[in-house]
Amino acid sequence: MAVLLMLRRAHRALRGTYLDHLPGSDAPGELVHLLRDPFRFLHERFERHGNVFRTRLALPVVFLVGEEANRTVMLTRRDAFAMGRGYHLTAVRRVFEGSIMLEDGEQHARTRAVLTPAVGHLALRESSDRVHAIWSRMLDGVDRVGGEDCYGLAERGTFDVAANALTGLDLGRETESFRPRFERLIDGIMAPTPYRVPLGRLDRAMGARAELMRLLRPRVEAARRAEPSGLVGQLAHARDADGQPLETDAIIGQLLLLFWAGYDTTASAGAWVLHVLARRPDWQQRLRDEVRDRLGTEPVGPDDARALPQLGCFLSEIERMYPSALFFPRVTEEDVSLLGHTLPRDTPVFYSPYLSHRDPEAFDHPNAFDPDRWDSERSPKRARTALLVGFGSGPRVCLGKAFAKLQLRILVAEALRRYRLEPDPGARFTVQGLPVHHPNGSRVRFRPL
């Protein structure tokens, strides 16, 4: 009977008829349209169907948009939306197998209780000094070239930060050995299925994963014998709820996920920071003045967020307009009523930071870049309390959010202390939406002050 029920559900899922009561379309080619132009795909369907709409991306899925939807998914009914199951039909479950991203319920809570103190350690003074040194070195000499690609510069800096602060790799030979393997691993995320085909995209990624495991095992074992330092050291000495040490391969599985989250998504945000600053000399000067007035020549530290309120508003607006991911998956664990619609159990859904952050119901002039909307003295309360979900929210909020924000504050402060940023007038850029949202071909010239 259980097998028959499972087959029935699979048949219904493939046909998609259990979602016919929802607005949207099952027209052929929806996935092609999404991959070709994800921004147009999302905007057209949101404008046509509203905050809840269905489509077919190989399998039928439902998109959820807006603050009420986000609060339901991540806060008020969070137990009804499984994140781990949301990735089970994708290659992500193979690339990051054994990681917290694929866990739900009690297992997720247990793992998070172990990881949170270790990841929180990244925002302490030891790590901020490392981040400052890396970005200071990265920005040295950028004025001597004709222009820097925003995403290329941000990617190099955040990769070195992740390699050094997360895994303790030496900058140079160790990092350069790690990078090509890690890039092959991440490329596997875009494999069309979670099934491994010889010489295919996922096969290459899983081969790279095995190489990374071999490379990192000695580092974890060495950390067990030393005083706890850095993320690897913190995890090597951590204990689970039963008082047992974490297995080495389990630690590495979490490290690979945290590396990706701390590198790819922060590179996206860093690229948008540079892109926007070059085009907003008014905000360059406001932020430069704030850093000088509040910190003088002192480096930005983990406790300086409140001392730099305008920079906080600027980074909130970067998160609002340019979230690193356009949408994230969940699967309903039970029937859910939302915005006048019923989502049956086992429905794949996507909540969309990109569309939600540009919803005119939540934000005035949603397509305008306006950091002052987050300023308590310049903006009404409704705008300032709107829910940002670029890092998620609730119990599944990104573990590395504080570390990412620290890194971005350091990048802005160090860049503006040294340079005036200008867009390269000869550069022609596009915007890439998948898998990570970032400017492509946007170049910035750094003029010494």
* pLDDT tens-digit map of 395-405: 999 999 999 99
* pLDDT tens-digit map of 12-39: 544 556 899 999 998 889 999 999 999 9
- Judged by average pLDDT, the poorest of 279-293, 371-385, 432-446 is 371-385
| Percent of the chain predicted with pLDDT > 70 | 94
* pLDDT tens-digit map of 182-199: 999 999 999 988 999 999
Position 145 confidence tier, pLDDT thresholds 50, 70, 90: confident
The separation between CA 373 and the C-alpha centre of its own chain, rounded to angstroms, equals 23
AA letter at 186: I
Mean of the pLDDT values across residues 53-64?
Answer: 94
Q: Does 124 have pLDDT greater than 80?
A: no
Q: Does 229 have pLDDT greater than 90?
A: no
Q: Does 411 have pLDDT greater than 90?
A: yes
**3-class secondary structure, 44:** helix
Q: Which helix (H) or strand (E) holds 446?
A: strand 443-448
pLDDT reported for residue 415: 98
What's the CA gap between 104 and 373, in Å, rounded? Answer: 35
What's the CA gap between 367 and 358, in Å, rounded? Answer: 6
Distances (CA, A) of 217 to 238, 306, 376, 390: 16, 39, 49, 32
Among 262, 213, 253, 212, CA closest to 114: 253
Task: Kindly report whether the global pTM for this prediction surpasses the value 0.85.
Answer: yes
* pLDDT tens-digit map of 149-189: 999 999 999 999 999 988 889 888 899 999 999 999 999 99
